[in-house]
Structure 1
Amino acid sequence: MAVTLLLSSAGRRVGLLECFRASARTANIDIRILACDMEPGLSPACRLADKAFAVPRCGDPAFVECMLEICARHDVDLIVPTIDPELSVYSRNIGRFAECGTRIHVSPQSVVDVVRDKLLTAETLDAAGVPVPETHTLAYGRENAEKLAWPLFLKPSGGSASRGIRIVRGPGDLPDEPDEPMILQQLLEGPEYTVNIFIDDGGKLRCAVPHRRLSVRAGEVEKGITERAPVFRDLALGVSRALPNARGVLCFQVILDKVAGPRVFEINARFGGGYPLAHHAGAHFTTWLLEELTGRRSSANDDWRSGALMLRYDAAVFEG
């Protein structure tokens, strides 16, 4: 059995690439991993892939055509997106890629639209009974300042990687003309967790692996430890209930506020940067995706190890 996988916007995602290779060895699958980026020569994951390609930015109209050409020329079976901005592009074009025999690991557009908008995320989760922080538009904050409990978090509605977030102490700290839509969110205090989840192609939640974010760099966990507790499984079931069309790998962020309790404040409909910790703990999402792709019986389960610790460090790829 042979599979060609394309890691999109591969960047630094060496850990994810290695997880797919390990899963393929275990499943006796002959895998060829391709990778693409705007500057593949400066991408560690592209350097370590079997073949790499330069592609336009995902917002460029030429991006989809370029990716379709790569998929057709190299018989790509599966594309795995790794960054939020490309999710909408891929979800809108699932059918076009399917025509050339390529499956994309992305949820439908209806799911991506929700998770890429933090206000809509909060509203959708709240409607499904999932606890979320109090969330408002910037306009509401200006017009109803006396009703709000300051300080609050100010963040881009469609942001990621902790870009542009800051604490605002009162209405005087609000920007007059932000460059993008912003939201105000309840300021939570307590330990922060990422919960990596796997939803099979039938829509069933098969696994939920929480890890405590002990240290974070540029929005990505640097030190983390898996912790099993019923609250996280319940939250994962709530998220899957709120997004019934979600498929594959997702992750969501939770803060266990010392007063308000658990609050889910963000969802990413892709492999999170901390996925290698879940994989190390025994939750082999990459294996389960390859099983679905090749029509094998799924081995997906929720039997992973609590107390698995990840301590990341900087490594390097050398050339020349």
Structure 2
Amino acid sequence: MTPVLVSSAGRRGALVRAFRDAGAVVHGCDMQPELSSGCMLADHAHQVPRCTAPDFIDRIEDIVRANGIRLIVPTIDTELMAYAEAAPRLAAAGAYVHVSPPEVIAVVRDKTRTMEVLAAADLPVPDTCSEAELRAEPDRLGWPVFGKPVGGSASRGLGSYDSFAVLPDSFPEPMMFQPVLKGPEYTVNIFVDRAGQLQTVVPHLRIQTRAGEVEKGRTTRRADLRALAEGIVRALPQARGVLCFQVIDDAARGPRIIEINARFGGGYPLAHHAGAHFADWLMAELAGRPSGASDDWRDGVTMLRYDDAVFTG
């Protein structure tokens, strides 16, 4: 059995189970592991400092060396750069970090830069401007506009504004603005093998979301969304492993890419149940075997999430 560390395990119980089913002894880590259902469902749990703390990687390396961890799986945006920069160090300690290189993380963690890189690759993205640009030219996007933090995640700081008059006088962090898009939203889960080849593209319709994660979704095979995935991999040729991106299929403009997450998405369990076993494929690559990744997954699979509980003591 291969020891795997799911970082910032939080509520990622389904991801823990996916790696256990793939043949892993699963370790979870979190700031308060005793309050993390993902950690409690793991075989072993570890306490770590916040991922922005100066000793975060020191603690991760200690866990790796003490437990023979072979694979580290980050799960939140804010820890990606720390892991990307520390990947060589952690590899020397014996663990492969499932993360794209820092050059890729720098793009996807800056939503304005993401839009610029994708637009330069002729991929469809919404018109985008900074707060300063919007204030200097209020009608450049039309109204209403949608604002979000440049470095945001987990739906933090999102807002829709019907006119310049209701725009706040200031924001607590750098913001970007786009026209309000109207239409169904999709998450597209992709798997890029270690050779940089796009192997799998699994879109799912986000029927209903909660706190930024899909609560009800349905796999939907669409050639146009696969073409967008191919374009993203061309635009970010160093991307590796599991990524996901969001698309709004605007009624007037057509599909528009709104962001990329270089990690397992919260809706991964739907892709896994439909036959896209990313966890198994990463484990196969770790063992030096062909991943077995393919695009053979089931269309029309619906996920209906519900609240469950983990009890301790």
TM-score by length of 1: 0.96
Aligned: 1:77 with 2:70: yes
Paired position in structure 2 for 1:95: 88
Paired position in structure 2 for 1:7: 6
Secondary structure of the residue aligned to 1:64 is helix
Secondary structure of the residue aligned to 1:175 is coil
Paired position in structure 1 for 2:109: 116
Deviation sequence 1:140-165 (CA, Å, 0-9, x none): 00001133311100110111111110
Which consecutive unaligned segments of at least 5 residues does structure 2 have?
none
Aligned: 1:238 with 2:237: no
Letter in 2 for 1:88: M
Letter in 2 for 1:314: D
Aligned: 1:316 with 2:309: yes
In structure 1, how many angstroms separate the alpha carbons of the residues matched to 2:107 and 2:165?
A: 30
Letter in 2 for 1:132: V
Of 205, 209, 212, 1:212 maps to 205
Deviation sequence 1:95-151 (CA, Å, 0-9, x none): 110111111000000100110111000000111111001111010000011333111
User: Which portions of structure 1, spanning 4 or more consecutive aligned residues, are displaced by more than 4 angstroms?
Assistant: none
Pairs aligned (count): 313
Following superposition, the deviation at residue 50 of structure 1 comes to 1.1
Letter in 2 for 1:292: E
TM-score by length of 2: 0.98
In structure 2, how many angstroms separate the alpha carbons of the residues matched to 1:297 and 1:118?
A: 33
Of 177, 185, 189, 1:184 maps to 177
Letter in 2 for 1:247: R
Secondary structure of the residue aligned to 2:122 is coil
Aligned: 1:286 with 2:279: yes
Contact preservation (8 Å) 2:141, 2:178:
no
Contact preservation (8 Å) 2:127, 2:141:
no
In structure 2, how many angstroms separate the alpha carbons of the residues matched to 1:246 and 1:100?
A: 23
Contact preservation (8 Å) 2:155, 2:211:
yes
Following superposition, the deviation at residue 267 of structure 1 comes to 0.4
Paired position in structure 2 for 1:27: none
Following superposition, the deviation at residue 298 of structure 1 comes to 2.2
Which consecutive unaligned segments of at least 5 residues does structure 1 have?
25-30
Letter in 2 for 1:6: L
Following superposition, the deviation at residue 173 of structure 1 comes to 2.8
